[in-house]
């Protein structure tokens, strides 16, 4: 259970970074 939670957390963090980056790109353009 703990290992699965860590895996999901890593995926969520990666998606969050990509979402954050795309938001900055659209905001500047």
How many residues are given for the chain?
29
Pairwise CA distance, residues 3 & 26, whole Å: 35
Q: Is the pLDDT of residue 1 over 70?
A: no
Number of structural domains found in the chain: 1
Query: What's the domain range around 13?
Result: 1-29
Q: Is the pLDDT of residue 23 over 90?
A: yes
Residue 3: pLDDT band with limits 50, 70, 90: confident
Residue 10: pLDDT band with limits 50, 70, 90: confident
Pairwise CA distance, residues 17 & 20, whole Å: 5
pTM over 0.85: no
């Amino acid at each position: 259970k703990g290992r699965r939670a860590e895996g999901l957390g890593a995926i969520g963090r990666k998606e969050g970074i990509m979402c954050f980056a795309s938001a900055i790109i659209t905001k500047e353009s």
